[in-house]
Amino acid sequence: MYSIIKKMKKIMFHRVTYLLVAFLLQAALIIGVLLGFQAYFVVFYGFSILLSIAVVIWVINKHIHPEYKLVWVIPILLFPIFGGLFYLLIAQNRISRNARRKMGHLLELSNEVLPQNENIIKNLNDNSSDAANQMRYIKDFGNYPPYKYTKTQYLATGEEKFEKLMAELKKAEKFIFLEYFIIAEGKLWSEILDVLKKKVKQDVDVRIIYDDVGCMLTLPKNYHLILEAMGIKTCVFNPVIPVISSLHNNRDHRKIAVIDGKVAFTGGVNIGDEYINEYDKHGHWKDSAIMIEGEGVWSFTVMFLSLWDYLRDEVEDFIPFRKEYTKEDLEELEKEPGIVQPFFDSPLDGETVGENVYLNLITKAKKSIYITTPYLILDHGMLTALTSAAKSGLDVRIITPHIPDKWYVHKVTRSYYGMLINSGVSIYEYTPGFIHSKTFLVDQEYGVVGTINMDYRSLYLHFECGVWMHEVTSLEDMKTDFFHTLNKCHQINFQDVSGASWPRVLGRSVLRLFAPWM
């Protein structure tokens, strides 16, 4: 009984409870104020209708994806008295003007310290114009150049990533930069934190960025102050305030670790015990990451520092954090074939870099497209690209989870299976549990490992990152891991899809309508 009361108190006094109550009270207050105008019902009703019509016209003419327009137009038309007002309150990106200006300035500073490496694209253009075009797009619109003197190591599980990360953290001499959507208290974080505290005592510059929403249920309130007291410099990305606002839409979904400018990590793996299967959260957790060494690490260093300065409203000199490579270093790095290009996707610049990188890979494919993703919520362009590739005879295979972390998102994911399978796409569900890996492998010539899910939030609303690779040795490891994972999957056939009951089909269809909110 005591334990039950203790749990109830914990829930009642949790920060999430306070925020939820605050949001509900504000919504009730807004509705109450509006209903208070009943004495002027005709005037108020006419004003509300005109406002909703104006908002609908505005939404339809905005330069946003049609699916996102539809998901707002329908509720506004269904509830014209409140629909237009609520759209103005919670759907607008109010930080865009100010934040875009500040972020744009930081990007200009970043471009000044990033190498242009035009010769890499120029030299490749004669042999592989498709690869050169993709690199040019990422460089021009993702603001990060390609590199040759860079090694890659594909890490097929969270356990492998943790082992490598710990080894590199222990070797740190100058700085450690960690940026994660989720940091959760537990075995994994305790071991990392022990190393970070030791490194602080050795005068290593240790900095951490974590997302407030991502860590709301996994870290104590004001945890950044606890870390600062340990000497670990900390930024909380976009802290949630108890006010109804669209400010909460943009999250930092990146997972980045940079040590001394020598090595960098990214991929799907957050800092939490489920990522190393220390406990069973949604069955066996399958994830992946990429570690890079060499000149390409500089892009991740700049990526981190740009966001750090954005959050701290500072401008610092990035150059002291750049590692200088000797002739012997470069000769060793030159043994690694291929080209590596880290990239960054921001919701503040109006360019959907992550989506376009994926679309470029799909449309340039000649033989095969192998994808792993925890969520498969596709807009019309992505759905058309995948089905067209399969109809053209390409081997298109996608692995999704069998045990979901969010049941409603998984139902929307499954709503796409029928159209994909009918077009020749092979769909597999990871039977042991949840697959959180975000990978693209095309023709065993191109690959991407990063943080970008195939859903609306990742592609349009979140800060994301990834590593685009061309003809590197890690692509063979990615292929091996993909087919090893396939052996643990159940292939979805047309009978599985067509056998669903009509209430289930209807439920998935309704949820799919609101997919851009998921």
CATH number for the domain harbouring residue 238: 3.30.870.10
pLDDT of residue 181: 96
Q: Tell me the C-alpha distance between 514 and 321, whole Å.
A: 44
253 is catalytic: yes
Domain count for the chain, please give it: 3
Catalytic residue among 211, 379, 443, 455: 443
| Angle of CA points 345, 346, 350, to nearest 5° | 105
Least confident of 20-24, 236-240, 275-279, 447-451: 20-24
- pLDDT tens digit string along 277-297? 998 889 999 999 999 999 999
Contact 290, 165 (CB under 8 A): no
Neighbours of 396 (CB within 10 A): 25
What average pLDDT does range 435-461 have in this prediction?
93
- pLDDT tens digit string along 102-145? 767 667 777 888 988 888 888 887 778 889 999 999 998 888 99
380 is catalytic: no
Structural domain range at position 19: 2-90
Catalytic residue among 130, 252, 260, 309: 260
Catalytic residue among 151, 199, 253, 282: 253
438 is catalytic: yes
Same domain as 435, residue 369: yes
Same domain as 507, residue 390: yes
pLDDT of residue 13: 47
pLDDT at 93 over 60: no
Same domain as 483, residue 459: yes
Residue from 491, 467, 460, 496 nearest 381 by CA: 460
Which one-letter amino acid corresponds to residue 225?
Answer: L
Helix, strand, coil shares of the chain as percentages rounded to 5?
Answer: 50, 20, 30
Neighbours of 350 (CB within 10 A): 10
User: In sequence order, what are the residues at sequence separation of 6 or more whose Cβ sits closer than 8 angstroms to the Cβ of residue 457?
Assistant: 251, 253, 518
Pick the last residue of a domain from 302, 337, 372: 337
260 is catalytic: yes
Same domain as 73, residue 47: yes
**What are the backbone dihedrals phi and psi of residue 175, each rounded to the nearest 5 degrees, phi first?**
-150, 155
Catalytic residue among 151, 438, 462, 470: 438
Same domain as 86, residue 100: no
Q: Which residue has the tokens 């690490």?
A: 297
pLDDT at 243 over 60: no
Q: Tell me the C-alpha distance between 295 and 492, whole Å.
A: 42
pLDDT of residue 85: 66
Predicted structure pTM score: 0.86
Contact 330, 150 (CB under 8 A): no
Tokens of 374: 């925890």
pLDDT at 329 over 90: no
Same domain as 512, residue 472: yes
